[in-house]
Amino acid sequence: MSHPTSGEPDGNAAYGHKPFKRSRSHFADRITADGRDGWPVEAGRYRLAVSRACPWASRSLVSRRLLGLEDALSLAVADPIQDDRSWRFTLDEGGRDPVLGIAYLSEAYEAREPGYLGGVSVPAIVDVPSGKLVTNDFQQITLDFATEWTALHRPGAPDLYPERLRDEIDEVMDGIYRDVNNGVYRAGFASNQEEYEAAYHDVFRRLDLVSERLKDQRYLVGDTLTEADIRLFTTLVRFDAVYHGHFKCNRSKLTEIPVLWAYARDLFQTPGFGDTVDFDHIKQHYYRVHTGINPTGIVPLGPDLSGWRTPHHREQLGGRPFGDGTPPE
């Protein structure tokens, strides 16, 4: 989730007043087993900066937990409320991240590229020894967790990006990214009726297709959890809390789409998914930061969250959540 830096004034108020465009990751170095970009996989060397409000960062939280990378890759959690310098570490004592020693994530961007004035986004991985940002490539980070960080996976870690299914996973994820993950933002930040309606129709057309796909199979691709499920989950879990009202994606609530609601509950109750979700951070961020579309900053009290723990009965479809592996502790 990107946010303008101080180089772009009125960042929060600008939401909803100009066409929405997802910015490309400016820093796309990869952390790999062979270190070919200069960043070898190494336990304890890097720190993952996230916001629990952000769906793109939440992918990395789910993946890190499912694969058991918590001890190898430490975590910096930003305040869900940003100021004009973007993500800040005001949740930590003294307002600084205890490992990186910085008050704002933008300081790691600046250390990497002095004078940088672009957006500051999470997830971001920072090299602890130098304090420099390594990557903010949200599309690639979790794929590399699954494929390049294998030496540091926990025993029993699932294969979230199995080689034989990658083409199908990529195809499914592409549609979900375009129409669902990004589609809700295009609807929410639309600056005219036509733009909004096009995005709205994309969101629900794709949700209907996905619902049809999941009617008779427990997971999106194959019979185990994959990266595709993680990417759909992080939007679904925010749907009723923010996207239905705040982003005007209001044809139906998630709770009114039977297959997807059962699927989302199944994932939420799977270790590694629901235990990484913070609904308070989610609501505080969207409703208080996006002053362009919610100028009062009032945060709604609903929805009722108790349904997330109710039986989903998806286990009747079979499927093996972790394949030959085991759940995280």
Kindly report the backbone phi and psi dihedral angles of residue 318, in degrees, each rounded to the nearest multiple of 5, phi listed first. 85, -140
Kindly report the backbone phi and psi dihedral angles of residue 100, in degrees, each rounded to the nearest multiple of 5, phi listed first. -85, -20
Rounded to an integer, what distance in angstroms lies between the CA atom of residue 200 and that of residue 194?
10
| DSSP state for residue 177 in the 8-state scheme | I
Tokens of 41: 């996989």
- Cβ atoms within 10 Å, residue 253: 15
Catalytic status, residue 185: yes
Tokens of 62: 């789910």
Rounded to an integer, what distance in angstroms lies between the CA atom of residue 116 and that of residue 125?
17
Which helix H or strand E contains 95, and what residues bound it? Answer: none
Strands (E), 32-115: 46-50, 74-77
Catalytic residue among 15, 46, 54, 287: 54
* Cβ-proximal residues to 294 (8 Å cutoff; 6+ apart), any chain: 246, 286, 287, 288
Rounded to an integer, what distance in angstroms lies between the CA atom of residue 211 and that of residue 263?
9
How far apart, in Å, are the Cα atoms of 189 and each of 98, 109, 168, 203? 35, 26, 30, 14
| DSSP state for residue 86 in the 8-state scheme | B
Catalytic residue among 46, 104, 161, 185: 185
Kindly report the backbone phi and psi dihedral angles of residue 50, in degrees, each rounded to the nearest multiple of 5, phi listed first. -135, 165
Q: Which of 264, 46, 218, 266 is nearest to 145 (CA)?
A: 46
Rounded to an integer, what distance in angstroms lies between the CA atom of residue 60 and that of residue 48?
9
Contact (Cβ atoms closer than 8 angstroms) between residue 171 and residue 195: no
Catalytic status, residue 219: no
Cα separation of the two ends of the chain: 28
Q: Known catalytic residues? A: 54, 185
